[in-house]
Amino acid sequence: MTVKQRAPISLKNVGVCYNMRLSRKRGLRKAIAKGARLDAQGKFWALRGITLEVQEGEILGVVGANGAGKSTLLATLAGILTPDAGSIAVYGSIATLLQLGAGFDDELNAEENILLVGAFLGIPGSVMKKKIPAILEFADIGDFSRSEVRTYSSGMRARLGFAVATAVNPDVLLVDEVLSTGDATFREKARRRILGLMKHARAVVYVTHDLESAKEICNRAIEMEDGKIIADGPARKIITAYERKMRTRGGPHASAASPKRTQSTPLRRRARKG
Amino acid sequence: MASSSHRLTVGRPALGPVGTIRETIKSVVQRRRLLLYLTIARVRKDGGNTIIGNFWLILDPALQLVIYYFLVGIVFNRPQPDFPLFLFAAILPWRWFTTALSSATESIRARNKVMRQIAFPQIVLPLSAIAASGTGFLFGLIPLFSLYLAYTDRLTIWVTALPLVAAVQVLWTLPFAILLSAISVFVRDIGNFLRHALRLLFYVSPALFSYERIEGILGPNPPAHLLLDLNPMAHILTAYRNILYEGRAADWGVLLIVALASIPFTIVSIYLFRRMAPSFVKVL
More confident: A42 or A157: A157
Q: What is the mean pLDDT of residues B29-55?
A: 81
Same-domain check for residues A140 and A263: no
Overall domain count for chain B: 1
Q: How far apart are CA A17 and CA A83, in angstroms?
A: 8
Chain A contact for B41, CB < 8 A?
yes
Same-domain check for residues A214 and A256: yes
Residues A118, A128 contacting (CB under 8 angstroms): yes
Listing from the earlier edge strand, what are the strands of the sheet with A9-19? Answer: A43-54, A9-19, A85-90
Confidence of residue B20 (pLDDT cuts 50, 70, 90): confident
Look at residue A104 and tell me if it is in a domain.
Answer: no
Listing from the earlier edge strand, what are the strands of the sheet with A172-176? Answer: A94-97, A172-176, A203-207, A58-64, A220-225, A228-233
DSSP A45: E
Helices B83-110 + B124-147 axis angle, to 10 = 160
Look at residue B16 and tell me if it is in a domain.
Answer: no
Confidence of residue B255 (pLDDT cuts 50, 70, 90): very high
Chain B contact for A24, CB < 8 A?
yes
pLDDT value of residue A227:
86
Determine which of A104-108, A110-114, B92-96, B220-224 has the lowest per-residue pLDDT on average: B220-224
Which SS3 state, helix, strand or coil, does residue B176 take?
helix
Q: What is the mean pLDDT of residues A216-234?
A: 90
Domain range enclosing A220: 7-92+207-273
Confidence of residue B257 (pLDDT cuts 50, 70, 90): very high
Closest CA to A223 of A209, A238, A234, A237: A238
Same-domain check for residues A140 and A117: yes
Q: Do A78 and B279 touch (CB under 8 A)?
A: no
- Residue A16 phi, psi (nearest 5): -125, 125
Look at residue A153 and tell me if it is in a domain.
Answer: yes
Look at residue A181 and tell me if it is in a domain.
Answer: yes
Look at residue A98 and tell me if it is in a domain.
Answer: no
Q: B6, B31, B189, B274: best mutation site toward chain A, by most A Cβ within 10 Å?
A: B6
String of DSSP letters for A261-272? -TTHHHHHHHHH
pLDDT value of residue A69:
86
Query: Which of A101-110, B11-20, B258-267 tops mean pLDDT?
Result: B258-267
Q: How far apart are CA A265 and CA B10, in angstroms?
A: 30
Same-domain check for residues A78 and A130: no
Using a CB-CB distance cutoff of 8 angstroms, which residues of chain A are in contact with residue B278?
81-82
Q: How far apart are CA B179 and CA B174, in angstroms?
A: 8
Burial class (CB in 10 A: 0-12, 13-18, 19+), A15: middle
Overall domain count for chain A: 2
Look at residue B27 and tell me if it is in a domain.
Answer: no
pLDDT value of residue B99:
93
Look at residue A133 and tell me if it is in a domain.
Answer: yes
Same-domain check for residues A125 and A197: yes
Look at residue B223 and tell me if it is in a domain.
Answer: yes
Closest CA to A272 of A61, A66, A62, A46: A66
Q: Domain end: A201, A231, A262, which one? A: A201
Query: What one-letter code names the amino acid at B238?
Result: T
Write the CA distances from A271 to A65, A178, B225, integer angstroms.
8, 15, 64
Write the CA distances from A251 to A67, A72, A272, integer angstroms.
13, 21, 7
Strands A172-176 and A203-207: parallel
DSSP H or E stretch at residue B133 = helix B124-147
Look at residue A114 and tell me if it is in a domain.
Answer: yes
The CATH number for A145's domain is: 3.40.50.300
Look at residue B68 and tell me if it is in a domain.
Answer: yes
Q: Check if the interface score ipTM surpasses 0.85.
A: no
B253 has pLDDT over 60: yes
Closest CA to B134 of B39, B227, B10, B259: B39
Same-domain check for residues A20 and A87: yes
Q: What is the mean pLDDT of residues B151-179?
A: 93
What's the residue count for chain A? 274
CA distance B244 to chain A (A): 35
Look at residue B38 and tell me if it is in a domain.
Answer: no
**Strand stretches in chain B, DSSP E:** none
Share of chain B above pLDDT 90, in %: 40
Look at residue A125 and tell me if it is in a domain.
Answer: yes
pLDDT value of residue B11:
41
Same-domain check for residues A142 and A158: yes
Q: How far apart are CA B268 and CA B252, in angstroms?
A: 25
Q: A43, A77, A82, A166: best mutation site toward chain B, by most B Cβ within 10 Å?
A: A82
Same-domain check for residues A55 and A138: no
Look at residue A105 and tell me if it is in a domain.
Answer: no
Helix, strand, coil share (%) of chain B residues, nearest 5? 80, 0, 20
pLDDT, one tens digit per residue, over B189-235 is 888 899 999 988 888 788 888 888 877 777 677 777 777 788 899 89
Q: How far apart are CA A19 and CA A42, in angstroms?
A: 6
Look at residue B23 and tell me if it is in a domain.
Answer: no
pLDDT value of residue A268:
38
Look at residue B172 and tell me if it is in a domain.
Answer: yes
Chain B contact for A241, CB < 8 A?
no
Q: Domain end: A138, A172, A201, which one? A: A201
Residues B109, B153 contacting (CB under 8 angstroms): no
Helix, strand, coil share (%) of chain A residues, nearest 5? 45, 25, 30
A182 has pLDDT over 70: no
Write the CA distances from A67 to A97, A230, A249, A265, integer angstroms.
19, 14, 16, 9
pTM for this predicted structure:
0.83
Q: Do A92 and B31 touch (CB under 8 A)?
A: no
Which member of A81, A99, A125 has the closest CB to residue B282?
A81
pLDDT value of residue B268:
93
Chain A contact for B196, CB < 8 A?
no
Share of chain A above pLDDT 70, in %: 79
Which member of A19, A78, A93 has the closest CB to residue B119?
A78
DSSP B4: P
Closest CA to B96 of B70, B71, B60, B120: B60
A257 has pLDDT over 60: no
Residues A48, A238 contacting (CB under 8 angstroms): no
Look at residue B10 and tell me if it is in a domain.
Answer: no
Q: Domain end: A186, A201, A216, which one? A: A201
Q: How far apart are CA B3 and CA B269, in angstroms?
A: 34
Residues B104, B129 contacting (CB under 8 angstroms): yes
Residues A91, A171 contacting (CB under 8 angstroms): yes
Same-domain check for residues A180 and A45: no
More confident: A261 or B61: B61
Domain range enclosing B140: 54-283
Same-domain check for residues A56 and A190: no
Chain B contact for A96, CB < 8 A?
yes
Q: Do A107 and B48 touch (CB under 8 A)?
A: yes
DSSP A98: S
